[in-house]
């Protein structure tokens, strides 16, 4: 079977923790950021867990991230 290619866009957007959780950043991080309150801007820095409904689809884009 040939090697599977990693989706480069997904590679930069999703991270897998040591326990196997799939983490993502929030959207709307940079556009119109000057208008937002400092507290709101800080909330964009955190990574949040990906929905379980999307997990299977993202796993297919990142074949070698899961061991």
Q: What's the pLDDT tens digit per position in 16-53?
A: 999 989 999 888 888 888 898 999 889 988 899 999 99
Flag whether pLDDT at 66 surpasses 90: no
Fold exhibited by the domain 8-61: Factor Xa Inhibitor (4.10.410)
Listed by start position, the domains of the chain span 8-61
Amino acid 61: pLDDT: 93
Q: SS3 of 49, please?
A: strand
* Pairing state between β 14-16 and 22-25: antiparallel
- Please name which of 44, 55, 67 lies closest in space to residue 14, comparing C-alpha atoms: 55
Amino acid 30: pLDDT: 81
Flag whether pLDDT at 67 surpasses 80: no
């Amino acid at each position: 079977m040939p090697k599977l290619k990693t989706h480069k866009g997904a590679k930069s957007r999703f991270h897998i923790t040591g326990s196997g959780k799939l983490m993502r950043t929030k959207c709307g991080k940079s556009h119109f950021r000057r208008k937002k309150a400092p507290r709101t801007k800080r909330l964009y820095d955190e990574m949040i867990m990906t929905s379980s409904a999307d997990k299977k689809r993202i796993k297919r884009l990142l074949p070698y991230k899961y061991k």
